[in-house]
Amino acid sequence: MRAVRLSLWVLLPAALTTLTWANLAGPPAGQTGAPGEGTCADAGCHDQFTLNGGPGLLNIEAIPPFWFVDESICPPEPVHIAIGLEQPGASRWGFQLAALDDSGRTMGTLLLVDADRTQASVDSAGRLYVSHTAVGSDGEHANAAPGWSVSWIPEPLPPPQSRVTLFASALAADDDGTAAGDYVYTGTVQLRFVFVDCFGLSVPGDVNESGSVTSADIIYLINFIFRGGPMPSYHPMFGEINCDGTVNSADVIALVRYIFQGGWGPSCEPCIHCCATDETNWYCEFP
């Protein structure tokens, strides 16, 4: 899991209060701070304080922090993006987010998770953005925004091993109807391309790949879980016997019941397991 920094804004620090309130419905496109873009901390906007110069805490989590596609077996998996913003004394919030490559082109597709609180827009260059709505500016929440959720999928498919960067800008405002007293922040996070492998054990439950399911598989799994022994063949998640998404003592019990008590078999093993790795982290999906 990777944390990301983000920023938001309200919009023009107009002399008229009505202009400031008008932009509660969302900022104009192109304010993420990506190369070639500005932010709402630029002159004539929320410019009382320097960009990223406030005491606020901005956080984005991208889960998983990488992307992979194997269209022959595994459907594109979404990256779930959670955006948080904290600032003492602030009580009005917002953000804008874009997913771009090194040339500034939109990569993949940002998807709305909450259409009441977030919205999509496209600029004249075809770049896709997601930002807050008037409801999503959360004027009744002081000191911390409730946060926003967005998903990203690699469709249309980026070129292999493309570098995809999330650019974000966020505003923590004091909600006084003017552009004064507000702070703007920016941040980025990269979604790494990783290799995907889709496979299954030739014999479900045969964690030591001996060709059959025996008591030796129970011992093998116990050694892996409790004693730091070698992992099940090919990948740790092939020790997943009861299909609850984790490998633990419950899988040992399920394997014992299967072998000695005629219990139900390792029902999830016949399915294809889709696993991605960046050689440090693994991310697996189970059908």
Domain locations along the chain? 2-194, 201-270
Q: Is the pLDDT of residue 196 over 50?
A: yes
Higher pLDDT: 116 or 158? It is 116
Task: Measure the CA angle with vertex 76, ends 199 and 108; round to 5°.
Answer: 145
CA–CA separation, 153 and 198 (whole Å): 19
pLDDT, mean of residues 126-132: 96
User: Does residue 70 surpass a pLDDT of 80?
Assistant: no
Rg (CA), the chain: 24
For residue 221, the surrounding DSSP H or E stretch is helix 215-227
AA identity, residue 262: G
pLDDT given for residue 262 in this prediction: 75
Percent of residues, the chain, with pLDDT higher than 90: 47
Q: H-helix or E-strand containing 255?
A: helix 249-260
Q: Which of 71-85, 132-146, 221-235, 264-278 has the lowest mean pLDDT?
A: 264-278
- 6 with 185: CB under 8 angstroms? yes
pLDDT for position 263: 66
Instruction: Match domain 2-194 to its CATH number in 2.130.10.30, 3.30.1330.180, 3.30.460.10, 2.60.40.680.
Output: 2.60.40.680
Q: 255-271: per-residue pLDDT in tens?
A: 898 888 876 655 444 34
Distance CA 135, CA 226 (A): 50
Residue 106: count of CB within 10 angstroms of its CB: 20
Q: At 69, is the pLDDT very low, low, confident or very high (cuts 50, 70, 90)?
A: low
Q: Across all residues in the chain, what is the average pLDDT?
A: 80
Place of tokens 């879980």: 225
Does the CA dihedral 279-280-281-286 come out positive or negative? positive
Q: Does the pLDDT value for residue 4 go beyond 70?
A: no
Q: Can you tell me whether residue 202 is helix, strand or coil?
A: coil
CATH architecture of 201-270: Orthogonal Bundle (1.10)
Q: Cα–Cα distance between 160 and 235 in angstroms, integer?
A: 24
Residue 177 confidence (pLDDT): 85
Q: Residue 76 CA to chain centroid, in angstroms?
A: 14
Q: What is the mean predicted confidence (pLDDT) over 151-172?
A: 86
User: What average pLDDT does range 202-207 have in this prediction?
Assistant: 73
Q: Please give the Cα distance from 96 to 25 (Å, whole number).
A: 12
Say which range, 96-110, 207-221, 234-248, has the weakest mean pLDDT. 234-248
Residue type, 180: A
Angstrom distance (rounded) from CA 187 to CA 182: 17
Query: Could you tell me which residue, 177 or 83, shows the higher pLDDT?
Result: 83
If we measure between CA atoms, which residue out of 150, 128, 132 comes closest to residue 141? 132
Highest mean pLDDT among 7-16, 48-57, 268-277: 48-57
Closest CA to 13 of 160, 167, 173: 173
User: What integer pLDDT is reported at residue 163 of this predicted model?
Assistant: 83
The alpha carbon of 69 is separated from its chain's Cα centroid by a whole number of angstroms, namely 16
Higher-pLDDT residue of 250, 209: 250
The residues, ordered by sequence, that sit 6+ positions from 15 with a Cβ below 8 Å of its Cβ are none
